[in-house]
Structure 1
Amino acid sequence: MDQAPALLYDGRSPRARAVRLRIDGDRLHAEAADAIDAHDTPSLNWPLAGLRWPERQRHGPRQMDLPDGASLQSVDPQAWDALARQAGQRDSRVVRLQQSWRGTCVALLLVLLAVAGLQRWGVPAAASGITALLPPSIDRTLGERTLAALDGQMFQPSRVDAAAQARLQRVMAEVLARLPPGRASADAPAGRLLLRDAGREANAWALPDGSIVVSDAMVALILQDTAPADVDAMLVGLLGHELGHVHRRHGLTMLVQASLTTAFGTLVFGDASGLLASAPLLLGQLAWSREAEREADLDALAQLRAHGLSGEPMAVLLERLHGPASAAGRADAGLLSSHPDHAERIAGFRQAR
């Protein structure tokens, strides 16, 4: 008859008593393991039908909670498992899979595929659906607060001369007038061009409320040894790109998606601040950002075609920002980039007619 050494906790005292377990008929018996404890450890027994055996595992002790508030903890796991089999316990399918390296690897692969699928398609689709339900007033509030924060920390008043500012505003008005149907509805954020001094940062930012902020350094880069017609083409492409972000509500959608991915990561990984959780969230956000940039580039190309302009000046502007197409993708492409391969973007504009 199988016996298993165990520790008995009576539920009233922290002291553990050494016992030996055995099965007799339909009951589990616990008897003192040595004669010294026999006088204060009476033989106890419990009906097998009322016991809930713990799942078998490869390592670590087994513990069973007893109906009377006491508990048993295994000393010899193999002997305990033999006693459990004698009591009629059999591993469930889940336990067998947990003990199988093949089953564990398959389960891990399925989880990773599910996480990747949700992050690649599920979360962006959900974020787009939620954004579509949010009123435009949220875009306006978010844009106003973002601009106020940037004006207080990153931006200074523009130093671009009045003539250049007037030219930019003229091109902005022309771009807005040629927006595709559906992009200039009453609910869509109105476009507004703002110039700011951001130091050496040559960039443009699309805010959710429709504000397009262009840095003085970007204006200087556009005007640098550029033919007047090409200046207009660069401005049309740049403003068309940023307005694409505005009217596709990319800023608000990315905010919603970040909230969803954080919640999803916490649900799956427990602690969203850990490396294991933050890595897939970061990669997912960067992948969506690259896709948003591709969509905005398509809007820029549509504006250039509507104005009868070539995409070559935009390709030149990107080369000024990131270097020649032959070298642009070396350091800026890949999973850790928020923008598509710059060589790919340059080629896309250069090939447009």
Structure 2
Amino acid sequence: MQGGTQLEVPGRYYDGMTSRAHRVVLRVQDGQACLEGEVQRREPLAQVRVSERTAHAPRKLTFADEACFEPDERAPLEALLQATGHRDGAVVRMQQSWRAVVTAFGALLLVLAVGYLYVLPAGAALVARMLPVSVERQLGQGLLGVLDRRVFDPTKLTAARRAALTQAFAHMAPPRDGAPPYQLVFRHSRIGPNAFALPSGDIVLTDQLVELLEDDQAVLATLAHELGHLHERHLTRRLIQGSVVAAAGTVLFGDASSLVAGLPALALDLRYSREAEQEADDYAAAMLRRNGIGLAHLERLFTTLQKLEDSIGTPPPYLASHPPSAERLERLRRQLR
């Protein structure tokens, strides 16, 4: 607000200390906001704050001591503000324009999408690589126990069978240095064929998957795939991403307890991205090559899983977090050509 005008705006004055409304008239003279009536007051316009314009409520003027003036009607005050050259800030003007609001909302969605699809995965990968293995192991601590209570029974494979698979895989060299320590764990599953790796370093292999494949080297290809997840720290990266998303929700909605309570479920329910699964497939193929095992055994794995998927009409639990078996099979066959 600036300048002077003869316009008068009737309204109510509140001194900021009581709830009593004083009847006054507002004028602007010589760069001063002047109140006359039950209260006499003059205040430099530079020290008067004008509230934002809204669709249904009139503005109010707030003085330096937090006393305020509210007009009886919005139109006279708007006219006075216009006459004194008052202009809302750019943000306020944008809030009043639906086009600006839609544009800003679209830009926000774009920033969030880019952040979620590109920045967050890259940041999670960087953090995962920087985390000591000991910290990663702590993230997975206790998860196997939870699974044992919910979906697993003790393995029914003989000790000799388990020892043969364990030793065969232990003799395989990873495709590159730096492979993390792991422990091969056998379980009988209540949900069918399955194999997966936990941040604790446990690679879980179910009896049903061993029986389904009927090919020890195809089983080794499966284990190589899971070791690839550990080596690339895929689950830790997904845990970090999920935790960041959950933390963002906590900031927005203010319920930190849901973040803490939801972490175990998050760890059990996370699914790898398509890129992570392709990386693990490539890791398995490289590991088989290095150890002189033909990729036909990895092909057998995908073919067997595709037949299982086709026979039951929906992906079995082992495939729920993976790209379709047909797609993985076609991708592998392109490498074999």
Q: TM-score range by the shorter chain?
A: 0.7 to 0.9
Q: Give the aligned partner of residue 235 of structure 1.
A: 219
Match runs of 1:30-109 below 5 Å: 30-32=35-37, 41-109=38-106
Answer whether contact 2:59 2:74 (CA < 8 A) is retained: yes
Q: 1:71 to 1:348 in 2, by over 3 A?
A: same
Q: Distance in 1 between matches of 2:300 and 2:100?
A: 57
Match runs of 1:77-226 below 5 Å: 77-174=74-171, 177-184=172-179, 188=180, 190-223=181-214
Q: Distance in 1 between matches of 2:22 and 2:328?
A: 74
Q: Distance in 1 between matches of 2:145 and 2:64?
A: 64
Q: Give the aligned partner of residue 35 of structure 1.
A: none
Q: CA deviation at 1:153?
A: 4.1
Q: 1:63 to 1:197 in 2, by over 3 A?
A: farther
Q: 1:6 to 1:253 in 2, by over 3 A?
A: same
Answer whether contact 1:315 1:347 (CA < 8 A) is retained: no
> 1:346 is matched by which residue type in structure 2?
L
Question: Are 1:323 and 2:323 an aligned pair?
Answer: no
Q: 1:107 to 1:144 in 2, by over 3 A?
A: closer
> 1:323 is matched by which residue type in structure 2?
D
Q: Give the aligned partner of residue 277 of structure 1.
A: none
Q: Distance in 2 between matches of 1:198 and 1:238?
A: 16
Q: CA deviation at 1:321?
A: 4.2
Q: CA deviation at 1:338?
A: 4.3
Aligned residues: CA RMSD = 3.0
SS of 1:104 mapped into structure 2? helix
Q: Distance in 2 between matches of 1:8 and 1:313?
A: 84
Q: CA deviation at 1:119?
A: 0.9
> 1:235 is matched by which residue type in structure 2?
V
Q: CA deviation at 1:287?
A: 8.6
Q: Give the aligned partner of residue 276 of structure 1.
A: none
Q: CA deviation at 1:242?
A: 0.5
Q: CA deviation at 1:237?
A: 2.2
Q: 1:75 to 1:314 in 2, by over 3 A?
A: farther
Q: 1:323 to 1:46 in 2, by over 3 A?
A: same
Match runs of 1:13-28 below 5 Å: 13-28=18-33
Q: 1:200 to 1:261 in 2, by over 3 A?
A: closer
Aligned length: 314
Answer whether contact 2:238 2:270 (CA < 8 A) is retained: no
Question: Are 1:6 and 2:11 an aligned pair?
Answer: yes
Q: 1:144 to 1:259 in 2, by over 3 A?
A: closer
TM-score of the two chains, using structure 1 as the length reference: 0.77
Q: 1:173 to 1:287 in 2, by over 3 A?
A: closer
Q: Give the aligned partner of residue 253 of structure 2.
A: 271
Name the % identity.
Answer: 36
Q: Distance in 2 between matches of 1:74 and 1:292?
A: 62
Question: Are 1:312 and 2:299 an aligned pair?
Answer: yes
Q: 1:142 to 1:48 in 2, by over 3 A?
A: closer
SS of 1:312 mapped into structure 2? helix
> 1:254 is matched by which residue type in structure 2?
R
Residues 154-179 of structure 1 show CA distances to partners (whole Å, capped at 9, x for unaligned) of 432111233432342243224xx221
> 1:44 is matched by which residue type in structure 2?
R
Gaps spanning 5+ residues in structure 1: where? Answer: 33-40, 224-230, 274-281
Q: 1:53 to 1:101 in 2, by over 3 A?
A: same
Residues 55-97 of structure 1 show CA distances to partners (whole Å, capped at 9, x for unaligned) of 3333433233212331223443332222222233112333222
Q: Distance in 1 between matches of 2:235 and 2:23?
A: 65
SS of 2:66 mapped into structure 1? coil
Question: Are 1:248 and 2:232 an aligned pair?
Answer: yes
Question: Are 1:346 and 2:329 an aligned pair?
Answer: yes
Q: 1:144 to 1:14 in 2, by over 3 A?
A: same
Residues 224-256 of structure 1 show CA distances to partners (whole Å, capped at 9, x for unaligned) of xxxxxxx13421221111101111111222222
Q: 1:164 to 1:111 in 2, by over 3 A?
A: same
Gaps spanning 5+ residues in structure 2: where? Answer: 1-5, 256-265
> 2:20 is matched by which residue type in structure 1?
R
TM-score of the two chains, using structure 2 as the length reference: 0.81
Q: Distance in 2 between matches of 1:206 and 1:321?
A: 22
Q: CA deviation at 1:16?
A: 2.9
Q: CA deviation at 1:109?
A: 1.5
> 1:179 is matched by which residue type in structure 2?
P
Q: CA deviation at 1:122?
A: 1.0
Q: 1:76 to 1:217 in 2, by over 3 A?
A: farther
Q: Distance in 1 between matches of 2:308 and 2:14?
A: 72
Q: CA deviation at 1:261?
A: 2.5
